[in-house]
């Protein structure tokens, strides 16, 4: 098996629900607490497995906002595992999930240097590295309904921008999505062969803006009144 | 990369220590310096102090040092583990050699020479591993070059040779041959460093386009998704001012290479005094510390692409 995620950049709305739900599930999961530093202060910070960034692609008017969620890619050629001196970082043979043994990690940060995707974050309170577990404690939990045996981020996503499955199975949902939509890997030139794939935005028509007529006097007054009236 | 002083101190001190030990053994076995028991023991002890101090300082940056003992068990894949193992194997060999020199009245022959040269090989392997810890990272193009381990080895030998000149000069021995070797090694170090600085000017590797997969147009960061810093920004986003980098490169060459070479030449030609060598040692360590600081400060991790950098 080669388990991983497909992220659909066409429909991601950048709501950060995946990141929040990931944090909620995993803070009481197998990697222990995802510590927050200064949570109610001026600069709240902390450990997250999932981060969403937003980019502008192209120049106006051919531009587009792309919301870009990133978590561990569970690379096939995982350098983070090879460089780990203690053996705390490992890749499971049976399903390809990359994990960190919290009891072995000495917190040297070296694996985070080897990761090009910023998937690993050090928890200062435990002194150990933490990362996405692909919700190992959900996807194999037989007490859950079959439909719930998916990573927390996938179940939560309100836009269905995230899909979980086995990339070794050519008929799985993720393999089909990658085939049909041209799913791609990030930074393939580095040779990490990340398992997770990203689906590019669909090609759509531009929404014309030149033919929008000027506002009439009456519509302007209406708009102003609407703004002034308290609801 | 964030220049952590514990790692800078470690690589500079332990590199000089290994270099000093290597040159001590070579000078004694092949007889290109007049080394008696006090010189051998003081040089050997200084080397061990520098190496041990460096190793201890390197554990300071561990967030969970109680698991550090596990670091010796991934020799097969991890350069960090290899460095640890080599560093550990070095100690008994080095101590045996120093005992042998003491017992044998500074005559390094037979078994003593064999143990000493074995320690030299292990010391070189340790310094090479230190370089490869950085050199093997595909995520940092400024490090992922054969010049990284080359620089580590050459600078370790150069700093060690100047320390040996210092000890010889204070012991009142003839230090001219050693000073000549030190000049050659410092010049070699200056050259490899110049090649390195020239090399990393060329931008290669991933860009924000390949990082996001949008290779057809301009990609700009709109929002990082967090208001305060994260582990990633603290660890990888360090960026020094360009003028500071340029000034420090001048410091590297002026203090690290030119001034020590001039002082060593002065020692050969005019006045072979330990105090001249001491000034050279201080200048050299200031320069090499600046070199190591720059090595980290100039390295740009590819994760910066996701935080808006167009290239690394």
CATH at residue A38? 3.30.70.20
Res. B274 pLDDT band, cuts 50 70 90: confident
pLDDT per residue over B184-223, tens digit each?
Answer: 999 999 999 999 999 999 898 899 999 999 998 899 999 9
Parent domain of B60: 5-306
Average pLDDT over residues A208-213: 72
What is the predicted pLDDT for the residue at B134?
Answer: 95
Given a cut of 70, whether residue A219 has pLDDT beyond it is yes
CATH of the domain at B265: 1.20.1630.10
pLDDT per residue over B64-90, tens digit each?
Answer: 888 888 888 899 999 999 999 999 999
Contact between residue B55 and residue B87 where contact means Cβ atoms under 8 Å apart: yes
Half-sphere exposure at residue B295, Cβ-oriented, CA atoms within 13 angstroms: 29
Q: How many domains does chain B have?
A: 1
Check residue A35 and give left, alpha or beta (phi > 0: left; psi -120 to 50: alpha): beta
Given a cut of 70, whether residue B156 has pLDDT beyond it is yes
Q: Is residue A187 part of a domain?
A: yes
Given a cut of 70, whether residue A231 has pLDDT beyond it is no
Q: How many domains does chain A have?
A: 1
Closest-CA distance, B56 to chain A, in angstroms, reads 14
pLDDT per residue over B52-69, tens digit each?
Answer: 998 888 888 888 888 888
What is the predicted pLDDT for the residue at B285?
Answer: 92
Greater confidence, B103 or A182?
A182
Closest-CA distance, B120 to chain A, in angstroms, reads 24
Q: Is residue B311 part of a domain?
A: no
What is the predicted pLDDT for the residue at B138?
Answer: 93
Res. A8 pLDDT band, cuts 50 70 90: very high
Instruction: Give whole-number Cα distances, B173 to A106, B73, B98, B152, B168, in Å.
Output: 46, 44, 19, 29, 5
Q: What chain A residue is nearest to B237 in terms of C-alpha separation?
A: A118
Q: Is residue B239 part of a domain?
A: yes
Q: What chain A residue is nearest to B228 in terms of C-alpha separation?
A: A43
Q: Is residue A59 part of a domain?
A: yes
**CA A14/CA A24 separation, integer angstroms:** 18
Q: Please give, one letter per residue, the 3-state secondary structure of chain B.
A: CCCCHHHHHHHHHHHHHHHHHHHHHHHHHHCCCCCCHHHHHHHHHHHHHHHHHHHHHHHCCCCCHHHHHHHHCCCCCCHHHHHHHHHHHHHHHHHHHHHHHHHCCCCCCCHHHHHHHHHHHHHHHHHHHHHHHHHCCCCECCCCCCHHHHHHHHHHHHHHHHHHHHHHHHCCCCCHHHHHHHHHHHHHHHHHHHHHHHHCCCCCCCEHHHHHCCCCCCEEEEECCCCCCCHHHHHHCCCCCHHHHHHHHHHHHHHHHHHHHHHHHHHHHCCCCHHHHHHHHHHHHHHHHHHHHHHHHCCCECHHHHCCCCEC
Given a cut of 90, whether residue A29 has pLDDT beyond it is no
Given a cut of 70, whether residue B238 has pLDDT beyond it is yes
Q: Is residue B117 part of a domain?
A: yes
Q: What chain A residue is nearest to B59 in terms of C-alpha separation?
A: A108
Q: Is residue B81 part of a domain?
A: yes
Q: Is residue B47 part of a domain?
A: yes
Q: Is residue A168 part of a domain?
A: yes
User: Quick one: what percent of chain B has pLDDT higher than 70?
Assistant: 99
Handedness of CA B63, B66, B69, B74 (dihedral sign): negative
Given a cut of 90, whether residue A12 has pLDDT beyond it is yes
Q: Is residue B24 part of a domain?
A: yes
Mean confidence (pLDDT) of chain B: 90
Residue from B231, B296, B301, B303 to probe the interface with A (highest A Cβ count within 10 Å): B231
How many CB pairs (< 8 A) connect A and B? 183
Given a cut of 90, whether residue A99 has pLDDT beyond it is yes
Q: Is residue B312 part of a domain?
A: no
Average pLDDT over residues A70-89: 94
What is the predicted pLDDT for the residue at A77?
Answer: 93
Given a cut of 80, whether residue B252 has pLDDT beyond it is yes
Q: Is residue B119 part of a domain?
A: yes
Of B29-43, B147-161, B280-294, where does mean pLDDT reach its minimum? Answer: B29-43
What is the predicted pLDDT for the residue at B123?
Answer: 95
Nearest to A45 among B64, B81, B228 (CB): B228
The yes/no answer to whether this complex scores an ipTM above 0.85 is yes
Residue from A73, A84, A108, A186 to probe the interface with B (highest B Cβ count within 10 Å): A108
Q: Is residue A220 part of a domain?
A: no
Q: What chain B residue is nearest to A56 in terms of C-alpha separation?
A: B220
Q: What chain B residue is nearest to A190 in terms of C-alpha separation?
A: B138
Given a cut of 90, whether residue A152 has pLDDT beyond it is yes
Q: Do A118 and B306 touch (CB under 8 A)?
A: yes
Average pLDDT over residues B163-183: 88
Give Cβ neighbours of residue B239 (< 8 Å, ≥ 6 apart). none
Residues of A in contact with B79 (CB under 8 A): 83
Nearest to B221 among A53, A121, A122 (CB): A53
Res. A73 pLDDT band, cuts 50 70 90: very high
Nearest to A52 among B81, B138, B225 (CB): B225
Rg (CA), chain B: 21
What is the predicted pLDDT for the residue at A196?
Answer: 95
Parent domain of A191: 3-204
Closest-CA distance, A166 to chain B, in angstroms, reads 22
Given a cut of 90, whether residue B174 has pLDDT beyond it is no
Res. A113 pLDDT band, cuts 50 70 90: very high
Q: Do A113 and B140 touch (CB under 8 A)?
A: yes
Greater confidence, A62 or A49?
A49
Q: Do A122 and B231 touch (CB under 8 A)?
A: yes
Average pLDDT over residues A164-168: 94
User: Quick one: what percent of chain A has pLDDT higher than 70?
Assistant: 100
Contact between residue A82 and residue B245 where contact means Cβ atoms under 8 Å apart: no
């Amino acid at each position: 098996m080669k388990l991983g995620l497909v992220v659909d950049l066409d429909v991601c709305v950048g709501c950060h629900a995946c990141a929040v739900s990931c944090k909620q599930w995993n803070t009481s999961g197998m990697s222990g607490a995802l510590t927050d530093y200064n949570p109610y202060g001026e600069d709240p910070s902390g450990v997250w497995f999932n981060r969403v960034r937003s980019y502008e692609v192209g120049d106006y008017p051919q531009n587009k906002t792309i919301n870009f969620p990133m978590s561990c890619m569970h690379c096939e050629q995982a350098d983070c595992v090879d460089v780990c001196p203690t053996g705390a970082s490992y890749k499971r043979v049976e399903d390809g999930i990359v994990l960190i043994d919290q009891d072995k990690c000495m917190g040297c940060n070296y694996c985070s240097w080897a990761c090009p995707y910023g998937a690993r974050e050090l928890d200062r309170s435990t002194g150990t590295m933490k990362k996405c577990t692909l919700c190992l404690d959900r996807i194999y939990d037989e007490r859950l309904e079959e439909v719930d045996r998916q990573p927390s981020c996938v179940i939560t996503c309100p836009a269905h921008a995230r899909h979980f499955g086995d990339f070794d199975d050519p008929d799985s949902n993720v393999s089909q999505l990658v085939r049909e939509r041209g799913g791609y890997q990030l930074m393939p030139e580095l040779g990490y062969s990340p398992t997770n794939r990203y689906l590019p935005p669909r090609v759509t028509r531009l929404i014309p803006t030149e033919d929008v007529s000027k506002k009439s006097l009456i519509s302007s007054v209406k708009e102003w009144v609407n703004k002034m009236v308290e609801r | 990369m964030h220049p952590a002083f514990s790692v800078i101190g470690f690589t500079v001190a332990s590199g000089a220590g290994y270099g000093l030990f290597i040159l001590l053994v070579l000078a004694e076995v092949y007889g290109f310096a007049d080394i008696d028991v006090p010189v051998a023991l003081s040089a050997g002890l200084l080397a061990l102090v520098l190496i041990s101090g460096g190793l201890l300082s390197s554990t300071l940056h561990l967030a969970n040092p109680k698991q550090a003992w596990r670091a010796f068990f991934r020799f097969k894949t991890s350069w960090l583990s290899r460095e640890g193992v080599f560093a550990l194997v070095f100690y008994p060999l080095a101590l045996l050699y120093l005992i042998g020199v003491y017992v044998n009245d500074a005559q390094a022959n037979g078994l003593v020479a064999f143990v000493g040269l074995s320690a030299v090989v292990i010391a070189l392997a340790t310094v090479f591993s230190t370089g490869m810890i950085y050199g093997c990272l595909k995520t940092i193009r400024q490090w992922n070059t054969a010049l990284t381990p080359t620089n580590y080895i050459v600078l370790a030998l150069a700093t060690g040779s100047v320390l040996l000149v210092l000890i010889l000069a204070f012991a009142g021995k003839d230090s001219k041959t050693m000073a000549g070797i030190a000049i050659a090694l410092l010049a070699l170090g200056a050259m490899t460093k110049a090649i390195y600085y020239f090399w990393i000017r060329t931008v290669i590797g991933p860009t924000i386009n390949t990082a996001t997969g949008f290779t057809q147009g301009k990609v700009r960061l709109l929002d990082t998704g967090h208001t305060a810093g994260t582990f990633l920004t603290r660890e990888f986003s360090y960026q020094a001012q360009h003028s500071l980098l340029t000034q420090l490169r001048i410091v590297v060459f002026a203090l690290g290479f030119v001034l020590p070479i001039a002082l060593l030449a002065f020692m050969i030609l005019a006045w072979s005094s330990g105090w001249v060598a001491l000034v050279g040692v201080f200048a050299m360590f200031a320069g090499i510390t600046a070199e190591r600081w720059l090595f980290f400060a100039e390295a740009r991790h590819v994760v910066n692409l996701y935080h808006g950098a167009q290239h690394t």
